[in-house]
Structure 1
Amino acid sequence: MIRELSTLKRTIGRTAGFFSIVFLIAFIAFLIVDIVLLSPPELVQSKLTTNPSLTLPIKPIEIPDQPDPSTDSAIVLGPDLEPGETGNNNQVQEKKFAEADKNKQVQKVAYLTFDDGPSDITPYVLDILREQQVPATFFVIASLAQNYPDYIRRAVADGHRIGNHTYSHKYRLIYSSPQAFIDDISHAEATLQTIIGYRPTLLRAPGGTVGNLSKTLASELRSMGFILHDWNVDSKDTMAALMPAEKIRENVVEQTKSKHVAVILFHDGPGKTTLPEALRSVITELKQEGYQFKTLDHLYQPIVAIDR
């Protein structure tokens, strides 16, 4: 009887120990589930990565070479960083892409300019400009403007700009001295202001600035409020008494091929009867080449040959 009781006691002890272990395992499992399900994601993440020896291999990101935002000679892009900016690589790359996009969108602009008018040719020029919806700049001889004031007023009404091309256009007189030039353009200024109601500040020297104006005189003219303009495309419509329209077109188209900014010289003076036909074909071809048309007051940096 004593032996049987002893055997029963040992059996109960083993059974109790077994259930204790099972209970303990179940309790631990419950705690783990509780932590995972009830803890915030940040806590779970921190608990899962607290072992510094458990790291994953990281493959470096390959950044492709950036495009070179090269520019045309007429376009100047700013530096990658503005004053005060840090050299953060992301900022630099973003600016490069922005400048590259800007450069792709650069517009070609043609500035049509007409010297030596007005004359009987001027209304035909104005008709074509209106037909083509293209603005232009007229550098007028003020003594002729007195004879054709309505042409000048019509040009202004159509949205064109009027510039000073002296009063007399007599080379020996206007270039005899700096003061003679100033006197002549001042006379022209007063005459044109009477016709159009405002002071025209755009100024083109007959024959251009090179060989005619000194830098000192140019500086004085600017101090008087004048804005000097030469050109970088010559239609050469004065190279013959009557230049064929097709030749004028060829001269202009050939010279504009490599330019984003084209300041084109024409003459609407007396006898230039081939100009209207040439002008229509020039405008049509430049439009096909993607040019926009503006007046010279929109040109940020005037083309002045003596400044180069």
Structure 2
Amino acid sequence: MRKTIVLIAASAYLVSASAQNDCDKSVYLTFDTGHMEVAPLIADVLKRQQVRVTFFAANERTKQGDGSLGEYWAPWWRARAAEGHEFASHTWSHTYWRADLGDVRHPAFRVRPSAGPREGQTFVLTAAQYCEEITRAADRLKTVTGKAPLPLFRAPGGKTSPQLLASAQACGYTHVGWSPTGFLGDELPSESASNDALLHKALRDVRGGDILLAHLGIWSRKDAWAPAVLEPLIVGLKARGFCFRTLREHPDYGGAKGQ
């Protein structure tokens, strides 16, 4: 009897894997860092549902430990790499672009990080210094995971300019935002955007090819989005015929080989 159960489970896994390989309705689930309290629960859901995602990481302030890319969370990142997830930079200090300065030959940017020793301060970075912000997070990811991150980055808040994108491209990084219907709403106030409403909206609106965005914890949200919405969302999208892929498999970013 035990052998029969094992064989049935193995067959179900192969059918699931085959369906994922044959799927032509792909979505690309991505997570940006956050306070990390729900990160272990998110990892449990992803493992249980056999879903691989792309993590964009910055060294943000966390509820436990020394920052999302600090030593406390390093084992968590290593475990995700072993499971086949992909990684990319979210800038080191979660540094928001505020305005372009300089000119095309000497670009610079007014920025404001939300983490690190200059959290909340507004100052200027040259294009080279902004690239260092991207690279520092990518290098740290490689150190803690042992896996080369993708040569991609996501600007905090998705805030960019053509000049910023060109400067990042010049130092080897392509920006990745998210689809309009891929904004899963975990940054919104719980009072005006309940988990039930966000789940319903995503199941209704997500389309094939969408890049989906969520976070590893949002400080301001009272009712945590994950894992409450995450697992029913994954199950619901699978039931609609969607499969989940990483950005390494995305048609626009599939040439990304890692740093």
Q: CA deviation at 1:106?
A: 7.4
Against the structure 1 CA distance between its residues 178 and 298, is the aligned structure 2 distance closer, same or farther, given a 3 Å change threshold?
Answer: farther
The whole-number CA distance in structure 1 between the counterparts of 2:201 and 2:184 is 5
Residue 141, structure 1, aligned to residue 89, structure 2 = no
Match of 2:208 in 1: 260
Distance 1:245 1:182, change over 3 A: same
**SS of the residue aligned with 2:94?**
coil
Structure 1 residues 241 and 163, CA gap change in structure 2 (3 angstroms): farther
Could you tell me whether the CA contact under 8 Å between 1:140 and 1:164 is conserved in 2?
yes
Equivalent position amino acid for 2:210 in 1 = A
Q: Which residue of structure 1 lines up, in the alignment, with residue 199 of structure 2?
A: 249
How far off its partner does 1:228 sit? 1.8
> AA paired with 1:119?
M
Length, aligned pairs only: 193
Please say if 1:156 is aligned against 2:78: no
1:238 and 2:187 are equivalent in the alignment: yes
- Does the residue aligned with 1:111 lie in a helix, a strand or coil? strand
Pair 1:127 & 2:77 matched: no
- Give secondary structure in 2 for the equivalent of 1:173: strand
The structure with the largest strand share of the pair is 2
Bigger relative contact order, structure 1 or 2, given CA contacts below 8 A and separation 6+? Answer: 2
Residue 299 (str. 1) matches residue 247 (str. 2): no
Equivalence map 1:76-155=2 (5 Å) = 107-117=24-34, 119-142=36-59, 143-146=67-70, 147-155=72-80
**Aligned partner of residue 139 in structure 2, secondary structure:** helix
- Secondary structure at the aligned position of 1:265 is classed as strand
Between structures 1 and 2, the one with greater helix share:
1
In our comparison, the structure showing a higher alpha carbon Rg is 1
Question: Which residue is equivalent to 1:227?
Answer: 174
Deviations 1:57-110, CA, capped at 9 Å, x for gaps: xxxxxxxxxxxxxxxxxxxxxxxxxxxxxxxxxxxxxxxxxxxxxxxx971111
Displacement of 1:261 after TM fit? 0.7
Aligned residue in 2 for 1:24 = none
- Give CA-to-partner distance per residue, 1:258-302, whole Å, 9 cap, x none: x22111111112556331020011011101110011001111125
Matched, 1:280 2:231: yes
Distance 1:140 1:170, change over 3 A: same
**2:23–2:242 Cα contact (<8 Å) kept:** no
1:84 aligns with none
Which residue is 1:11 aligned to? none
Percent of pairs with identical residues = 28
The offset of 1:178, in angstroms, is 4.7
Deviations 1:243-272 (A, max 9, x none): 53212212322321xx22111111112556
Evaluate the alpha carbon distance shift between residue 117 and residue 152 of structure 1 in structure 2; reply closer, same or farther with a 3 A threshold: farther
Q: CA 1:182/1:173 → structure 2, altered by over 3 Å: closer, same or farther?
A: farther
Return 5+ residue gaps in structure 2 as ranges.
1-21, 60-66, 97-110, 114-122, 254-259
Gaps of 5+ in 1: 1-104, 303-308
Distance in 2 of aligned mates of 1:184 and 1:249:
34
Q: TM-score, normalised by structure 2?
A: 0.67
RMSD: 2.3
1:61 aligns with: none
Structure 1 stretch 285-294 or stretch 176-185: which is displaced more? Answer: 176-185
State the distance in 2 between where 1:251 and 1:177 align.
39
**SS of alignment partner, residue 142 of structure 2:** helix
- Residue type of the alignment partner of 2:58: I
Q: Are the counterparts in 2 of residues 168 and 184 from structure 1 also a CA contact under 8 Å?
A: yes
Matched residues in 1 for 2:82 and 2:23: separation? 30
What CA deviation, in whole Å up to 9, does each residue of 1:129-161 have, x standing for no partner? 111111111111135211411111111111111
Name which of structure 1's ranges 271-280 and 124-133 shifts more when overlaid on structure 2. 271-280
CA contact (8 A) 1:121 1:270 kept: no
Question: 1:205 and 1:161, CA in 2 relative to 1: closer, same or farther beyond 3 A?
Answer: same
Contact 2:78 2:145 in 1 (8 A): yes
Using a 3 Å threshold, how does the CA distance of structure 1 residues 130 and 148 change in structure 2: closer, same or farther? same
